Structure 1
């Protein structure tokens, strides 16, 4: 099933559970092995925070922007090594 069809079925209130792999379902916040959350503090210059806030306003919340950018950069540097 294509994503658009899935979305349309859901939006119409149809039961979509038969199309899901419930064996792999997770509750929000439930970590997969190797993906447990750890807190880290980073100090940024004021101009960088302002730029992050602008981008977060456009895309979503600040932490998500930082996580996506860092993950992308780390993934590229891992594959380059």
Structure 2
């Protein structure tokens, strides 16, 4: 009997795959600008100073928006059944 690489022997999703799917769903639920900021900073490693000219915002505003994006991502990850509204 063959099983997919994303399922265990019982055919259930592996926990790591469930976490990844939850993360991607939460990321997709973010507003586009929040998702872009989070990906540029957290994944691509862009600094606040590098983001400032891209976004046309001062450092404090970039930090505030990044904090809001993180909070929104956490909220969506906790409430995937009924995600909250994010600014």
Tell whether the structures are fold-level matches, with TM greater than 0.5.
Answer: no
Instruction: For CA contacts below 8 A with separation 6 or more, give which structure has more relative contact order.
Output: 2
